[in-house]
Amino acid sequence: MQVLILHYNRLVNYAFDACMAPLAVLGRWAEIIGVAAVLGTVVSLLFAALVRRERLRQARDELWAALFELWLYRREPSLVWSAQLALLKAHLRYGRILWAPLALSLLASAPLLIQAHYRFAFAPIPSGTETLLTAVLARPPADRAQMDCKLAWTQGTGVLSRSVREPALHRLVWRLRPEGFGKHILRLTGCGQTVEFPLHVGGFAGSIAPARQAGVLAQLLAPRARPLRDDSGWSRMYVEYPRAGIAWLVWLTVCSLLCALVVSKLVSRYRAGRSLRF
């Protein structure tokens, strides 16, 4: 299962990076608008293909009718209960029309939203700025010797502090101060194995993976990070990256909604013109 997810993540990462490459030269906001356009178009087309507007309009009219009936007979207790039941049935009919396209839209948009999160939500660590690397043990340490681990740079340079042991939390913490720019790599040796961890510094442009974890769900939710083995002595390794704020998420939401509305209007006009021709 993990092998299949690993290949799936590689395919999705490659496709996302290939689509972002032409927009990268235009800047970060062009990438956000591009992702929003694809997201809005996909969701709008799914709803247009799976939702029959006649049924949706009829369910909406029945919902309004139930609401007016409830207001009209508000002074008749015996009729209010029947109006409440009619309103509940109208809600269920309305929701039954939308649940399938909504579920498929969530499944279709989830990979793109996850990729956008790791592309836009984090900022690289400024060169010369301190941050923390935390490694969490998969099991409580049997003795202090198990927490004797070595951390070293294999790519890039910087300053490393001595590890701070926290046996109660089953973890070790290092203070880092990377120097230079681009992608750095740290190698952690301990618990009978060697694990590498990427660190993105300075003017790095691209997706950032702040953590490496073990487990199938972790692989699906963090496609940019190489998963830790199930038999690894570590359950999680992570670095505190600066947050990029929520402006990107606001623009992504607004632009995707606008694109969805535009595509919906175009589909409606196309269907109307096609019905007139035939």
pLDDT tens per residue across span 16-69:
989 898 988 888 899 999 999 999 999 999 988 888 888 888 888 888 888 888
- Whether residues 171 and 272 share a domain: the answer is no
CA separation, residue 43 to residues 23, 51, 99, 100, 181 (Å): 22, 12, 13, 12, 38
188, part of any domain: yes
Q: What is the pLDDT of residue 30?
A: 92
Query: How many domains are there within the chain?
Result: 2
252, part of any domain: yes
Each residue's pLDDT tens digit, 204-232 = 778 888 998 887 888 888 888 888 877 77
- Whether residues 194 and 271 share a domain: the answer is no
Kindly indicate the confidence band of residue 14, based on its pLDDT and cuts at 50, 70 and 90: very high
126, part of any domain: no
Q: How many angstroms separate the CA atoms of 239 and 241, rounded?
A: 6
Residue-number span of the structural domain to which 24 is assigned: 2-121+247-277
Nearest Cα to Cα of residue 239 among 210, 213, 218: 210
Per-residue pLDDT at 261 exceeds 90: yes
- Whether residues 135 and 97 share a domain: the answer is no
Which secondary-structure segment (H or E) carries 85? helix 77-120
Q: How many angstroms separate the CA atoms of 179 and 162, rounded?
A: 18
7, part of any domain: yes
- Whether residues 87 and 115 share a domain: the answer is yes
pTM here is 0.82
- Whether residues 140 and 197 share a domain: the answer is yes
- Whether residues 117 and 18 share a domain: the answer is yes
Question: Can you say how many angstroms the Cα of residue 186 is from the centroid of all Cα atoms in its chain?
Answer: 25
- Whether residues 230 and 197 share a domain: the answer is yes
196, part of any domain: yes
**Tokens of residue 73, six digits:** 């007979």
Query: Residue 173 in 3-state DSSP?
Result: strand
Instruction: Share the mean pLDDT of the chain.
Output: 85
Q: How many angstroms separate the CA atoms of 100 and 92, rounded?
A: 13
255, part of any domain: yes
- Whether residues 16 and 117 share a domain: the answer is yes
Per-residue pLDDT at 115 exceeds 90: yes
Q: How many angstroms separate the CA atoms of 59 and 24, rounded?
A: 45
- Whether residues 145 and 163 share a domain: the answer is yes
- Whether residues 73 and 178 share a domain: the answer is no
183: β partners? 200
176, part of any domain: yes
User: CB–CB of 126/155 below 8 Å?
Assistant: no
Q: What is the pLDDT of residue 235?
A: 85
Q: Can you state the percent helix, strand and coil of the chain, rounding each to 5?
A: 55, 20, 25
Phi then psi for 172, rounded to 5 degrees? -125, 145
23, part of any domain: yes
Q: How many angstroms separate the CA atoms of 51 and 65, rounded?
A: 21
**Tokens of residue 202, six digits:** 């300075």
Question: Can you say how many angstroms the Cα of residue 250 is from the centroid of all Cα atoms in its chain?
Answer: 15
- Whether residues 199 and 109 share a domain: the answer is no
Look up the CATH number of the domain holding residue 157.
2.60.40
Whose tokens are 């293909």? That residue is 49
- Whether residues 177 and 73 share a domain: the answer is no
Q: How many angstroms separate the CA atoms of 111 and 220, rounded?
A: 9
Q: The dihedral of CA 75, 77, 81, 82: what is its sign?
A: negative
